[in-house]
Amino acid sequence: MDTTAHERPRVLLHDPTLRDGQHAVGHQLDAGQLRAYAIAANAAGVPVVEVGHGNGLGASSLQIGRAALDDATMLTTVRETLTSSRMGVFMAPGWGTAKDIAAAVRHGADIVRIAAHCTEADVTERHLDVVRELGAEAQGVLLMSHMAEPRKLAEQCALMVRFGAQAVGIMDSAGYYLPADVTERVAAIASAVDVPLIFHGHNNLGLAVANSLAAVDAGASVIDATARGFGAGAGNTQLEVLVAVLDRRGVSTGIGLREVLAAADIAAARVMKAPPSIDSTAVASGLAGVFSGFKRPVLEAARAGGVDPIDLFLALGERQVVAGQEDLITDVARRLKVATG
């Protein structure tokens, strides 16, 4: 980055409100909601607006939840509204394929994030290559990153850079980290790669903003944040709060506070039934290190199976389930029921 001594350090805020937020509403955002928020985010100067099914391209399924709109409709709807913001999409190999990536780029995706579970970066090789060939910006992110040690994460990020990723980083998919955990991990990755670093927080332990700040201090320059924290489980790092916090910290985001507050108000009014909250199950889910997107299916399975959702989250955490393994939830609930009578 071409910062001089006089310029404030810059951080790029990447906004997955219309992707991660889908988890909170069973992937049911409609075109009017996508349009309303995308217009507001674009007007606020949010640099990247990410859109899609909660688990990204190709993930609409019985397993993870069927989206109200198909990928093409979601992308074209948002694309039409963006004049300055770039459009981002997310895809995990195994859920989506190169065909989904090609379609997304055709529909105007500027940035394609390829995701892998924290130790599985080598599954991104093929698809990072596809993104580069299509001429979009290729980013690589590690999901459920609390399950791996800092050194391992650094090694996996370096691998993604070798595969062509132009930015790499980690997602705290379970909302498990404390700020010191983030500092240690981001610093380890920063010493292993020379591309911009990404951090994506969740708020199960009330630390998403603090963790994001720790990430910036440790060298991350792409931070994910969503309006009102709209996102899976207890929600994400709250965008408008982070803009204010970074401003106080002397870090520039290029986003105006009044404009982002207005965008967040539109999100609150149009996109969500209620803003995310750290309810009891969200705390248990964070402590158990379970993927935030499991909240709705866990609550449903606990109700149907007659078990305590907190017990169910803890049992899933013991099995170290990862995103995509939703099929295990009812099985584990049933076993829990048998075990507890």
Partner 1 sequence: MAADTRRRVAVLGAGLIGIDLVDRVHRSAKLDLVLVAGRGQNSLGLHRVAELGYPTAAGGIGSVVEAGPFDVVFDATNADSHAEHWAALRPTGATLIDLTPTGLGTVVVPGVSPHYPVASRHLNLVSCGGQAAIPVLHAVSRHCAPTYVEVVATGAAASAGRATRRNLDQYIDTTSAAIRAFTGTEDVKVMVNLSPARPAPPFRVAITALADGFSPAHIRTSIAAIADTVRGYAPGFEVTSLAMGSGRISVAVQVTTSGRRLPHHAGSVDIINAAAVLLAEQSAAAL
From 14, 23, 127, 146, active-site residue: 23
Which residues pair with residue 50 across a beta bridge?
A: 88
Nearer to partner 1, 91 or 264 (CB): 91
Residue 110 within binding range of partner 1, rule CB under 8 A: no
Q: How far apart are CA 196 and CA 271, in angstroms?
A: 30
**Residue 314 contacts partner 1 per CB under 8 A:** no
* d(C-alpha 310, C-alpha 172), whole Å: 20
Q: Is 166 in a helix, a strand, or coil? A: coil
Residue linked to tokens 């996109």: 271
Residue 269: exposure state from Cβ atoms within 10 A (0-12, 13-18, ≥19): exposed
173 annotated among ligand-binding-site residues = yes
Nearer to partner 1 (CB atom), residue 116 or residue 182: 116
Q: Name the residue nearer to partner 1 (CB basis): 212 or 285.
A: 285
Q: For the segment 251-310, give every residue that binds partner 1 (CB under 8 A).
A: none
Q: Angle at CA 157, nearest 5°, toward 224 and 115?
A: 55
Binding flag, residue 94, partner 1 (CB under 8 A): yes
Residue 217 Cβ vs partner 1, minimum distance, rounded to whole Å: 28
SS3 label, residue 145: helix
Q: How many other β-carbons are positioned within 10 Å of the β-carbon of residue 5?
A: 4
Asked about 107 being catalytic, the answer comes back as: no
Work out which of 7, 70, 80, 122 binds partner 1, going by CB under 8 A.
Answer: 122
Which two three-digit tokens encode residue 241? Answer: 């709060």
Site string for partner 1, 143-162 (x = CB under 8 A): -x--xx--------------
327 labeled binding residue:
no
Nearest to 114 by CA among 99, 96, 128: 128
- Separation of alpha carbons 58 and 94, rounded Å: 9
- Residue number, 97 or 252, with CB nearest to partner 1: 97
71 binds partner 1 (CB under 8 A): no
For residue 154 the two structure tokens come to 């650094």
φ, ψ of residue 137 to 5 degrees: the values are -80, 130
Determine the interface stretch with partner 1 among 44-52, 91-99, 169-177, 199-207 (rule: CB under 8 A): 91-99
- Closest distance to partner 1 from the beta carbon of 130 (Å): 9
Of 16-24, 60-68, 211-219, 263-271, which part binds partner 1 (CB under 8 A)? Answer: 60-68
Provide, rounded to whole angstroms, the least separation between the CB of residue 296 and partner 1. Answer: 17
If one asks whether residue 76 binds partner 1 (CB under 8 A), the answer comes out as no
DSSP code of residue 170: E
Q: Is 132 annotated as a binding residue?
A: no
For residue 138, give Cα distances in angstroms to 133, 144, 166, 220, 271: 10, 20, 6, 17, 28
Cα-Cα-Cα-Cα dihedral sign, residues 54, 157, 185, 8: negative
Residues designated catalytic: 23
Binding residues for substrate: 19-20, 173, 200
- Site residues (CB under 8 A) for partner 1? 59, 61-63, 93-95, 97-99, 117-120, 122-123, 125-126, 144, 147-148, 319-322, 324-325, 327-328, 330-331, 334
